[in-house]
Amino acid sequence: MIESSELDWIVQKSAEFLADKVKDGPLTDRDINLAFEIFARPRLESLSSSFESDLERTQARDIIMMKLNDRAKQLNAEFWKKTE
């Protein structure tokens, strides 16, 4: 399995997109998927030799998506609850 620090770095870079996007409106599942497709998927593919199995690759993807969902909820709460 790849290091969790590598996954955290991928999440951090993907979340930067979400941090910019939240200024336009509350983040949606579409925004999260877009961040994953643009930033996380290519980085996961470049690490493909680090995975021992498809299961590990799927687990890494799920971890990233979970963290991006959490970050999107946090950004929405920080940015949009203040203006309501």
Position 84 scores a pLDDT of: 45
49: its two tokens: 């030799």
pTM to 2 decimals? 0.88
Q: Which amino acid appears at position 18 of this protein?
A: L
User: How high is the pLDDT of residue 11?
Assistant: 95
pLDDT tens across the length of the chain (84 residues): 566 888 999 999 999 999 999 999 999 999 999 999 999 999 999 888 888 899 999 999 999 999 999 999 999 999 988 554
Q: What's the pLDDT at 22?
A: 96
* Alpha-carbon gap, residue 68 to 13, rounded angstroms: 10
Spell out the SS3 assignment of the chain. Answer: CCCHHHHHHHHHHHHHHHHHHCCCCCCCHHHHHHHHHHHHHHHHHHCHHHCCCHHHHHHHHHHHHHHHHHHHHHHHHHHHCCCC
